[in-house]
Chains A and B, each alone.
Chain A
Amino acid sequence: MKLQLLLGSAALLLASAASAQTLVPSPTLDAIKARGHLECGVHLGLPGFSFANDKGEWTGLDVDLCKAVAAAVLGDANKVKYTPTSVQQRWPILQSGQVDLLSRNTTITFSRNASLGVDFQGINFFEGQTFVVRKSVNAKAPKDLDGASICVAAGSTEEKTAADWYRERNLKVTITTFQKNDDAITAYDSGRCDAYTAGFGALAGQRIKLKNPDDHVILNELISNDPQGPVTRYGDDRWQAVVRWTLNGMIAAEALGVTSKNADDMKANSKNAEIRRLLGAEGGFGAMLGLSNDWMLNAIKQVGNYGESYERTLGMGSPLKLPRGPNQLWTKGGLLFTPPFQ
């Protein structure tokens, strides 16, 4: 009897050791694979970040991250269902499990992390708050807006940052809050406010929505540092690692010179060990997360590395023409870097 039990458990041990690896359970990842698509929460419509074009296709830097994750998990960047969310809707939609991932130019803050039950998985855009004003008012810096009315979206970090910034300097501004970014912009455009405030990246996209974009200027001085990145729920650590390392992988690919064009070639011929691990030629990195080893190869081939994604959505390949600025690799004077694929 005892012997049988011993033999039985020994067999069980062997069996589990034989199967390649046991993974921490990940209900989110299992659910995505079962349903066959990724549920991604995006912005209602912010050119450059998440914007549905005239064919109804979502484009933008944040959308590209959704696509890259879908390519990494499911092998197909188009297997994403987008849920547009307002500033207020984004939290409940993530908390309730309606979306697997929120990629919606959301600033990483302490209180959000500590009290909303959400985790931030790295930084895909270094944003900083500034203002768009009419050229005719001749304001050069945020402090010149003393006495102005400022339109902003309710519940954004910008609402609070602007109030704090002017209060600290004893300048009086009137902050008028709207439920959606678009409402705030429309109100600014119709003359209700002297300025609209948001991040410089968001403003670059939103300025396009104004009636005469050339009559307006975005101030250079930033009043805050608002790093933004993908958000997930507490609790599913393996899923969080998938999102974090897909973003890291896109940045690593740019640093290593891997692009959507040369990825296959690199995988076959590169002698660089990190590139080989990144693209699944060795190391079996995908399997460690419960994905195929081609995970990053798929993501890079279908979406591109971070730089390709940036240039297509925000940079010189887009109507926004936003320079890389802080969103350049650290080796080229920016702030982007990734831990090694080792």
Chain B
Amino acid sequence: MMTRWLNDKTIRGYIWQAAVLIGLVVMLVFFVRNASENMVKAGIASGFNFLWRSSGIDVPFDLTGYSPSDTIFALFWAGVVNTLFVSALAIVLATALGFLIGLARLSSHWLLSSIAGAYVEFVRNIPLLFFVIFWYFGVIASLPQPKDSVSLLNLFFLNNRGLTVPRPIDGAPFLWAWLAIIAFAFLQWGVSRFAAARRARTGTSFPSGLLALVTLGLAPVFALIAASFWTGWDVPVAGKFNLRGGTVLIPEFVALLAALVTYSAGFIAEIVRGGLLAVSRGQREAALALGLTQGQTLWLVVIPQAMRVIIPPMTSQYLNILKNSSFGAAIAYPELVSVFMGSALNNTGQAIEIIAMVLAVYLFFGLIVSFAMNVFNSRMALVTR
């Protein structure tokens, strides 16, 4: 009886998995207990109570309304939001730039493809830290001192302290404007689905592209303009050192964003090129033979098939961008590693707790990115029967 069980493949599998799981848990418990015991012996404070102490640390750029009298947890959150903000923007922009470079590299135009090729080789062989510092000092050095600020209509000011823009005093009109913009986007999405379905049924196409000009172009602009007349503005004015009032987009942010985008775009370009080359020549030739234009061939035939090859490696690029945003610590962009592992860790000394929290944040958002990309991938995957 017993031996029959042991010979059963599935049961044996379960036994092994259980053993591995138990081993892992035992190891984890051992490490945690060992660490806490040693820390007590060495007189090092532990626990998470420090999160509710007031932080006293100033953050020059934050989107959460944090102030130094808030708790250390609020500081942590400000850091998380800054990390996500720069990562999200970098992912969007790097994808766009990477696609362009990847397409350029495949272009039959010699100069274009050589420049793209040189760019990719250059980027892939240089460490990211170099990019970050290059952009940072490049950005600062090329911008004027505050007293020589470049101003546009005396509303927008650019200097080496960043881009200072007027700040709306009341945020509600903009909230409405953004809701309207999202509504228009949904409308556009519905229309294009309808148009696609109709084309599949009857073959007549619907000018949904023209409509997009209105719903995604004119309407949002109009909504934002309306909102900006509706609210009052806190306009920056020149002070002794720098401009007073308004909101500042700090140069560290611009430098980090530029570094992440230009760096990741090089890798994304190669993924895109690989994906496009993976689509067999016959597909392209068949599409051209059917009378589709070059553009249509690319957008309707080649790219949709290439996406299947592109998406999985793209996921790891996106994860890299999220993780690489921690390079902001090198140039004083107040992201998670900088404010929490730099400032807060030194003020509290609770290294294990703080590093564990930072780890958990990257893991959590990394898994979310992976999950989202996997869902996208399964929707794009070739349905084989």
Spell out A's residues near B (CB within 8 Å): 87-88, 91-92, 95, 111-112, 114-118, 137, 145-149, 151, 154-156, 159-160, 162-164, 167, 172-179, 183-184, 187, 190-192, 194, 233-235
Contacts and interface: CB of A to CB of B under 8 A. Distances in A.
Contacts of B81: none
B161 A117 contact: no
Main secondary structure of the interface of A (DSSP, over half): mixed
A51 B226 CA distance: 60
Interface residues of B, number: 44
Contacts of A234: 42-43
B56 A160 contact: yes
25 contacts: A87-B346, A111-B347, A112-B349, A114-B45, A115-B348, A117-B39, A117-B43, A118-B43, A145-B241, A146-B240, A147-B240, A148-B241, A149-B60, A154-B338, A154-B343, A155-B343, A156-B346, A159-B58, A162-B58, A163-B56, A178-B331, A179-B330, A179-B332, A190-B140, A194-B241
B161 A149 contact: yes
Interface string B131-171: 00000010011000100000000000000110000000000
Contacts of A151: 332
Contacts of B60: 149, 174-176
Given A155-B343, A155-B346, A233-B42, A179 B240 contact: no
Contacts of A172: 244
Interface in B328-385: 329-332, 334, 338-339, 341-343, 345-351
Contacts of B240: 137, 146-148
Contacts of A162: 58
Nearest to B239: A147
Contacts of A112: 349
Contacts of B56: 160, 163-164
Contacts of A145: 241
Point out which of B60, B241, B251, B348 has the most chain A C-beta atoms below 10 A from its C-beta.
Answer: B241
Contacts of A114: 45
Contacts of B41: 235
Contacts of A179: 329-330, 332, 338, 342
A91 B341 CA distance: 13
Given A95-B44, A146-B240, A88 B346 contact: yes
Closest 8 CB pairs of A and B: A155-B346, A115-B45, A154-B342, A117-B43, A175-B58, A234-B43, A117-B44, A116-B349
Contact of A177 (B141, B242, B342, B348): B342
Contacts of A173: 58
Nearest to A144: B240
Contact of B342 (A155, A164, A190): A155
Contacts of A149: 60, 161, 241-242
